[in-house]
C-alpha cells in the first residue's frame, strides 16, 4: 500500500518538540523539529542544501539553525540568511519547510504539497487535552512493518481474542458480528461491534470495578490515513445511555492511535488510552498504562514478525480474507483511492 | 547451483521434533514441525493462509494449531477447521502439508510435488539407530554458504591435509590418488581413496589404540543431493578383511553428513560419526564428539568465509579445477542434471 | 565519482606490512600483503585460483603462501609452484601480483594495468621519513563513505570553522577568500588561503607558543586521486620568510592525507601531521596526536553521516555549490577526467 501524501500526520507528542532538535523521518521525509524561543513548532527538511549535512546534527542560534558542517544558516521558514565565504546568498539556498500545527497534544505535520495544507482538516482527539475531563496514558512505539499492517491490525479487533488473550481479548470479540460503514467523502471507515451481556475481561473488571457481565461497545472511527479512534463503552449488562445523551453508569474509554508511516517499511504507532472513570485513582492510571503498553507490544511483536515474513515471501502469495476483514478491506480500498488521487510517495 | 526439488531432505534429528513447535526453513520453505499426541511427526507450511502469521508463533490445541493472531485452526493435514466470526470455512483455507518420515534417527521431509514422495527412496544410514551396534556422536551446524560448497568440501577430502592439519589430515590424504565412479541411475557418486601403510593421524591413533602405520580406506558414497556417507576403515598395516566379509581387526567409522539447504545461501550440516570399536569407552565417545566438532567447525568457518568472498566477487570469476576435484565436479554435474529435471527452486 | 584506476595508492603504513598477513581491500580489490624473509613487501590477489579461499587465511612457508584449504602454493610473483594430488601445475594456476613500493613511510600499491605502473610517478611526502627533520604524529581511520566526500571535505577548509570549532577552526578560515589553481598535466589542484593578522586557534597557540595574532598560511596541494598535502605556516603577525627561502620564525606543519578507496562506498583515511618546531617536546607530540585525532574523528563522523544520508536520498537531489567549493569542484572535475581516461573500476 503506497503512503498517502497531501495529508496531515502526527509527527510527535507536543512535549517531544523542544529547543533541542528532534530528527524524525515522516513518510520518507527526513525532518528536523524544534521550537522557536517563543515556543512555536518548526519543521524543516533535515538536509542542508549545500552538502546535505543533517541540520539535526547542527546547533541553534536563537531561532536559526547553523549547519554543523560549513555554517549555512537557516531561518524558521527554511530560507538561508548566511553562507560562508561570500556575502551574496544564492537564490536557491533554501530548505523545505513543512506546515505544522499543535493540536490535541500532538504536533501535526503536513506531508505533500503545502498549498493543500489549509484545505485538509486535521481530525480531532479532544480527550487528549489536559482540561478535557479525561485521564490519558500514552506512548509511542516504532514498528518495523509497513503502515498498512497496523491499519489491518486495528481495524480487525477479532485478533484481541487470540493475540491479546488474557489482556483485552475474550471469545465474544471474535464471535460477535460487526457492522462496517464507509464515508468516502470524509475518508472515514466506521466499524462497530456491540456485545451485550459479555464476559468482562480482567483488564476492564479491574479498572471499572464492574462485577458481572457487561455491555461492551466498540465503535471504531478510522480517519484515513492518519488517525484511528476507538470509542469504547463498558457498562453493567442492560444499562443504556440516557435519551439526552448522558451516560452516568457508562464507563468511557477513548482509545487513540495515530498511524504515521516513517518509511515504506516502518511506522510510528502513537497510542493513547483516555478514560472518564476512576479519574483520581493513580493505580488505575498506572494499571492502564502498563496493560495497554503490554497489549501494544504484543501487536508490535506480531507486526515485526509479519513484515519479516513478507520480506522473504515468494512473489504472488495470496491472502485469504473473511468476514472479520470487512473493515480492514474497506480501509485498504480507501487508502488505495486516496494515494492514487494524491500521487503516491 | 540451484536447489534440487522433488527430493527428501533431513529436516531435523528425531528428538528435535516434539510437542513444542520447531520452525525451520528447508529449501526456502518455512515449515513448522511438531508431533501429534500419539507421536507422529507433522510438517506444515509455517504461514497462516489468512494474514500470513507464522504458525510456529501459535499454540497447539491437542493436535491442531491455533493461529496466534486471529485463531484460524489447522488440522495435521493442513486443512482448516475453524475461522473466527463465521461458521463457513472457505474452501481455500488450507496450508501446505509436507510428507514426513522418521528414519535412522532423522525426520525426513519431502520438498517438491508431494505426489512424487512415494516414488523417491530415502537413502539409509542404519548405524545411526540405537540398536545398530554402533556408537554415534553427532551434531548440527548451520552454515552461511550455499549448499554446493559443502558438497564440494566433503567430496574432496584432500582438504583434510591443510584445513584439518593436526586433526584428521595427514600428507598422505592429499597425495594418494582416488577413484571416482558415478551411478546416474541411482544418483550416487562414489569416491574411494585407499592409503596403505599410511601415517596414523592423532585422532585415530588415540581412538583405535593402533600404534604404528595403518591401512586407511575412505569410501565415499554421496546420495545426491541430501546424504553423504563416508565408510572409513582403519586397520594395522597389511591387515585385510576376511574373505567372508568379517573384519575383526578393522575399525569401522561410518561418517554421515546430511546436507540440507536452508535458503539459496545457507545450509544445515547434520554430522554424525558412528564407530564399532571401543564402544563402551565414554572417553573415546567424548573425544570423538569433541574432535569431530572441531573439524566440522573448521569447515564451517572456511565455508562462511568462502560465501562472503563469492558475495563480493566480480562477475565472471573462473575457478581452476584439478584432479582432486573429480568427485566434486561429478557431484556438481549430477546436481545440475537433477535440478533441471525437477524444475529448480 | 568512480574510482580512478591505473594509479598508485597508499595501501598501508610500512610498519603494518610484516611477516603476518595483512588483508586489505584497495579499490575493490581484495589484496594480501606481507614481507619476504628479506623484508621486501609483496601484494597478491587475496583469492586462491582453485576454490577462491582467501590467501590471507593461509600460512607462510618461507616466502611462499600455502593456501589453507587445499595447499595450493604461491611464489611472491603470484605463480603457483605446488598443487595437491598431481605433479603438473596447470598453466593458469597464478594469482595477480600488484606492483608495490615502500616510500615515505607508506606501502604504495598500483591498482590497474601493471604495465603502466612505471609510467606513473608516486607523489612524495618526504617529511614522513624519520631522518627528515620533522616530527610526525599519524594514524589511519576507515570511513564508511565514498572517497569523493573525503576529497570534498579536505579541499574546502572553511568547514574548520564549524565542524572543528574550538580545535583548528576560527571565523577567519571561512571568511578569508582563497585562490585555486589547477595543473591538469600534473593532476594537481592547488588551493591557497593566506590569513594575515588572524586569531590564533588554541591548537596552534599551545603548540607553537605564539602569543597574539598570527599570519596563517594554508597551501593545499592535492595530487589526485591519492595524496593530499597541506603546507601550513604559522608565524607571528607580519613576519615573512627570508628572501633566501629560510624561515626561522615560521612554524611549519606538513599535514598529509592519503586517500585510498576501499570500496565504492568506503575509504581509508591515512592522516599524518609533521612539524619542524618544538621537536623535542613530547608533550607537544602527544598534544598534536590527540588533537588531530579528535579533528579527524569529527570528519569521520560527519562523512559516515553523509554517506547514510546519500544512501537514503531520493534520486535527483541537487547540491548547491558556492565560492568555497571552488577547490572541491576542481578536484571533482579532475577525478572525473582521470577516471574516464583510465576506464572506471
Residues of C in contact with A86 (CB under 8 A): 322-324
Do C175 and A71 count as a contact with CB atoms less than 8 A apart? Answer: no
Do A322 and B50 count as a contact with CB atoms less than 8 A apart? Answer: yes
As a whole number, the mean pLDDT across chain B is: 92
Do B302 and C30 count as a contact with CB atoms less than 8 A apart? Answer: no
* Spans of chain C below 50 pLDDT: 345
Three cell numbers, residue B182: 558415478
Do C69 and B321 count as a contact with CB atoms less than 8 A apart? Answer: no
Residues of C in contact with A91 (CB under 8 A): none
CA distance linking residue A105 with residue A129, whole number of Å = 6
Res. B256: pLDDT tops 80: yes
Do B309 and C54 count as a contact with CB atoms less than 8 A apart? Answer: yes
pLDDT at A318: 87
- pLDDT of A234-258, one tens digit each? 999 999 999 998 998 899 999 999 9
Do B92 and A158 count as a contact with CB atoms less than 8 A apart? Answer: no
Q: What pLDDT band is residue A297 in, cutting at 50, 70 and 90?
A: very high
pLDDT above 70 covers a percentage of chain B that reads 96
- Nearest-by-CA chain C residue for B153: C69
Q: How many helices (H) and strands (E) does chain A have?
A: 6, 17
- Average pLDDT on A188-200 reads 90
Going by C-alpha positions, the residue among B308, B299, B327, B305 that lies closest to residue B139 is B299
Smallest CA–CA separation between A333 and chain C, in Å?
A: 27
- The CA R_g of chain A, rounded to the nearest whole Å, is 22
pLDDT at C157: 79
**Exposed e or buried b per residue across C274-290, where buried means at least 16 C-beta atoms within 10 angstroms of its C-beta:** bbbbbeeeeebbebbee
Residue A54 is nearest to which of C305, C314, C321, comparing CB atoms?
C305
Going by C-alpha positions, the residue among A265, A276, A277 that lies closest to residue A209 is A277
- Nearest-by-CA chain C residue for A85: C175
pLDDT at B321: 94
Q: What pLDDT band is residue B121 in, cutting at 50, 70 and 90?
A: very high
ipTM: 0.88
B vs C, Cβ pairs < 8 A, gives 72
Do B312 and C30 count as a contact with CB atoms less than 8 A apart? Answer: yes
Task: Show which subunits contact C, needing at least 3 CB pairs below 8 angstroms.
Answer: A, B
Domains in chain A (CATH in brackets) are: 7-116 (2.102.10.10), 126-342 (3.90.380.10)
Residue B70 is nearest to which of A175, A312, A324, comparing CB atoms?
A324
Q: What pLDDT band is residue A213 in, cutting at 50, 70 and 90?
A: very high
Smallest CA–CA separation between C68 and chain B, in Å?
A: 6
Res. B234: pLDDT tops 70: yes
Going by C-alpha positions, the residue among C240, C244, C221, C229 that lies closest to residue C274 is C229
Provide the 10 A C-beta neighbour count for residue A42.
Answer: 21
Give the phi and the psi of residue C259 in degrees, each rounded to 5.
Answer: -110, 110
Do C68 and B312 count as a contact with CB atoms less than 8 A apart? Answer: no
Res. A62: pLDDT tops 80: yes
CA distance linking residue C160 with residue C325, whole number of Å = 14
Q: What pLDDT band is residue B345 in, cutting at 50, 70 and 90?
A: very low
Q: Chain C residues with CB-CB distance to B under 8 A?
A: 28, 30, 47, 49-54, 57, 66-71, 83-86, 90, 92-93
- Nearest-by-CA chain A residue for B67: A162
CB A273 within 8 A of CB A299: no
pLDDT at C172: 66
Do A84 and C319 count as a contact with CB atoms less than 8 A apart? Answer: no
pLDDT at C283: 86
Residue A70 is nearest to which of C158, C175, C176, comparing CB atoms?
C158
Distances (CA, A) of B162 to B119, B176, B298, C61, C292: 41, 14, 11, 13, 45
Res. A345: pLDDT tops 70: no
Residues of B in contact with C52 (CB under 8 A): 306, 309-310, 313, 317, 319
Residues of B in contact with A323 (CB under 8 A): 85-86
**Exposed e or buried b per residue across B141-158, where buried means at least 16 C-beta atoms within 10 angstroms of its C-beta:** eebbbbbbbbbbbbbbbb
Residue C52 is nearest to which of B156, B162, B317, comparing CB atoms?
B317
A vs B, Cβ pairs < 8 A, gives 72
Task: Show which subunits contact A, needing at least 3 CB pairs below 8 angstroms.
Answer: B, C
Smallest CA–CA separation between A48 and chain C, in Å?
A: 9
Amino acid at each position: 500500500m503506497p503512503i498517502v501524501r497531501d495529508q496531515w500526520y502526527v509527527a510527535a507528542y507536543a512535549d517531544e518538540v523542544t529547543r533541542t532538535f528532534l530528527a524524525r523521518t515522516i513518510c520518507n521525509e527526513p525532518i528536523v523539529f524544534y521550537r522557536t524561543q517563543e515556543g512555536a513548532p518548526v519543521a524543516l527538511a533535515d538536509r542542508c542544501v549545500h552538502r546535505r549535512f543533517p541540520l539535526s546534527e547542527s546547533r541553534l542560534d536563537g531561532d536559526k539553525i547553523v549547519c554543523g558542517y560549513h555554517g549555512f544558516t537557516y531561518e524558521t521558514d527554511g530560507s538561508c540568511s548566511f553562507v560562508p565565504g561570500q556575502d551574496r546568498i544564492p537564490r536557491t539556498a533554501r530548505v523545505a519547510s513543512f506546515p505544522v500545527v499543535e493540536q490535541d497534544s500532538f504536533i501535526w505535520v503536513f506531508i505533500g504539497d503545502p498549498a493543500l495544507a489549509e484545505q485538509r482538516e486535521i481530525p480531532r482527539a479532544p480527550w487528549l487535552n489536559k482540561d478535557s475531563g479525561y485521564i490519558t496514558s500514552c506512548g509511542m512505539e516504532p514498528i518495523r512493518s509497513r503502515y498498512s499492517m497496523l491499519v489491518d491490525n486495528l481495524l480487525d479487533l477479532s485478533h484481541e481474542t487470540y493475540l491479546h488473550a488474557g489482556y483485552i481479548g475474550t471469545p465474544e470479540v471474535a464471535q460477535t458480528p460487526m457492522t462496517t460503514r464507509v464515508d468516502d467523502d470524509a475518508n472515514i471507515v466506521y466499524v462497530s461491534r456491540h456485545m451485550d451481556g459479555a464476559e468482562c475481561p480482567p483488564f476492564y473488571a479491574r479498572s471499572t470495578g464492574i462485577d458481572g457481565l457487561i455491555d461492551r461497545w466498540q465503535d471504531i472511527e478510522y480517519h484515513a490515513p492518519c488517525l484511528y479512534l476507538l470509542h469504547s463503552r463498558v457498562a453493567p449488562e442492560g444499562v443504556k445511555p440516557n435519551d439526552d445523551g448522558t451516560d452516568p453508569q457508562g464507563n468511557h474509554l477513548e482509545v487513540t492511535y495515530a498511524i504515521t508511516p516513517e518509511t515504506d517499511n516502518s511506522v510510528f504507532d502513537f497510542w493513547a488510552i483516555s478514560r472518564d472513570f476512576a479519574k483520581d485513582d493513580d493505580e488505575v492510571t498506572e494499571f492502564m498504562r502498563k496493560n495497554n503498553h503490554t497489549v501494544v507490544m504484543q501487536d508490535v511483536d506480531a507486526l515485526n514478525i509479519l513484515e519479516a515474513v513478507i520480506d522473504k515471501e515468494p512473489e504472488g502469495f495470496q491472502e485469504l480474507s473473511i468476514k472479520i476483514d470487512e473493515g480492514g478491506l474497506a480501509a485498504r480500498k480507501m487508502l488505495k483511492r486516496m494515494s492514487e488521487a494524491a500521487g503516491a510517495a
